[in-house]
Structure 1
Amino acid sequence: MFVDRAKIYVKSGDGGNGAISFRREKYVPRGGPDGGDGGDGGNVILQADQNMNTLMDFKYKVHYKAQRGQHGQGSNMRGRNGEDLIIKVPVGTVVIDAESSMIIGDLINDGQQIIVAYGGKGGKGNAHFTTSVRQTPRFAQEGEPGQERWVILELKMIADVGLIGFPNAGKSTILSIMTAARPKIADYPFTTLSPNLGVAYAPDGRSFVLADIPGLIEGAHEGTGLGYEFLRHVERTRLLLHVVDASGMAGRDPVDDFYKINEELRLYNEELAKRPQIILANKMDLPEAQQNFERIKEAADKCGYKIFAVSAAKGQGFEQVLYEVLKMLDSLPKHEGFVSEQAEVVYVPKQELNYNIKKDDESYIVEGSLIDKLLRMTNIDDPDSLAYFQKVLEDNGVFKALKAQGARNGCTVKIGAIEFDYIE
């Protein structure tokens, strides 16, 4: 089964906790704190792999979690970092943040990697918290939790040339003639329900990748039929082979078909409508096709497209097409030139630490990324750790901001799950 869209949950490793330890050696009285730092959690990384061609694996396994960092130990021993989790995806996969719908990355080269969840930083051991007045800190920092998120994977096939056209125009047969691919072929619409790839070779050794894109229909740009799934795979092609059923035997006018397909491309993506095309007037072995050819050629000429008369049933006319495709590909930029502008927008999961204060009845609520991070890394049951938490709040101006907003002695302040009385 071909799957070109999946949604997965990823979580990076939590950072290891810092250690609470004191140096205890013979002849070394009051050796002081020597708790080591916790190790960093592992990242979750997506890596493009040219040996994969579907997202089928992600239909059966949805949750992915990287290894956490080890806790610090005494003697200033730092915990080991958690191993990164590398998830392999097909080349051509676009990675999208499910919550914001912004593109995280576009994996178009074999081996290319992007980090979708950064591992949490390891907590600091108590050795870091010694001051002139606090010689024996009995607290350490807990590890920072790893990031977690849902991401959407969308596979857009990478091919040099895409075969487009209405259902039953003969695209699959043409693919089998020009390449060694053997797609399902039958005389009814929608035989092809997923894209097929093949490699076309010229006698001089040159080659290109050809994709048979399942038949488009009117309204495909709005998702009619399997429109979105089909059109997605056209976006990366450098050249389009537009197959028209010149015979009109399916009850459609070939000239109308030509214009309708191009209109669907334009409505889905303006850039697709500007993509170079070669028109293949297929089924030219039939008398009806001979009668319609001049009309089709006139329409192609108006748009500036070259047209070739071919017969997939007889295997005729494809040698000229092959060399024309190679000639045009030589003058066109590589895949990177046709990557969607949207794909250049990179979602950065790391954010600056901040906070905000709002008043709720008689209490003040402090929230924000700074507060969330501090709470996750603080043991609120330990008095020393809680005192350090309050010191960080003071250093970041939280208490000053509370006073500026009208907080007075005795007011209730809520920070996460903690409630305390404000005292200047």
Structure 2
Amino acid sequence: MNRFFVPSRLQMARSIRGLTATALSREVDVSPEWLSKVERNRTTPSDELVARTAHALNLPTRFFYRDNPTLPESDEFHFRASSRLAQKDESAARALASLASELSEWMDATYELPTPGIPDLQELTDIEMNAGPEVAAESLRSHWGLGTAPVKNMVAMLEAKGARVFSVSGTYQAIDAFSFRHNGKAVIFLNPTKTAERLRFDLAHELGHLIMHGGTLLEPDRKVRERQANDFASAFLMPRGGMLGTLRGNITVDQIPILRDEWRVSGMAVAVRLHQLGVITDWTYRLICQELARRGFRRSEPGSKLIPESSSLWSQVLADLREQKLGFPYLADLLDVRPADVRSLLVGLVPMALEGDGRSGRFSSGADLRLVSN
């Protein structure tokens, strides 16, 4: 803990709360210009002003005296929004990324966790710059020994490779998903409001970014990177050999839900992949997409029984805390934030009945989690 106020912590807190400098200055009863000077380290607020600011942001004053937050490198922070990209959304994502990184560091210090196992493209192929998404996806499947069968559980597979999965929820509905690496580990944020099929595709999409778009292989065009990540996700979740091997006869729209359930992806994603593989013509593809849209497949997955995947890693961490009669308040104290701030990072990934009173029921997990020896 620092003895002095840390300006970057104020920027981080404001981004997490989604407040502009003007809005916060009104809450604290200071001028926007003065607040800007504080954030740029041109002036230092009094203890009384720090207390007022902390109250306005609903955070302990201790939060503003922690070390400088660690933010992902710009060229390795893969961010997308469902609406037109807004600077405040990306700022919020970076702030949440820093909070999750601090929580991840606590996990590393407390438990023996899977070692990082998500490579970048240079480790998979000699083609490097010319390796397209299809080749990258096939190479990664081979590297991990997945064959051509459907991936049963994307969250479990990525956590077994050392990845950390979090949620972006609440006021951040415009954010689809984002990812980065922290201390060599992949970190992926998902929007939990989507269907189970689309969440799996988002995980594969972010995996594509992590594999293809770090370091020297960075593609500067955001639209190109997004298209490449989509193509990677499609090829990774529906590998050419496996997909073609299961098809029989002419494809009709009624077969799409069957293929969807087999490969655990959205109906629209199935149609796109069949078109990519040349199984259906442009004309058939358009007809199928139109009919799927008419049946409601653009916004949901009619008839699907797929349940969103949970985090076995976090389930075990929270189960361990519960046995110690600890919970979200304990984790919040570690980060000097509210319990709700920690909960929001895990929405949709774990059960939320954890208050630190030790009375919640147990739940099983397949994660291999052990305490670090003292």
Superposed pair shares fold, TM > 0.5: no
More strand by share: 1
State the TM-score, normalized to the length of structure 1. 0.25
Task: Return the structure number with greater helix share.
Answer: 2
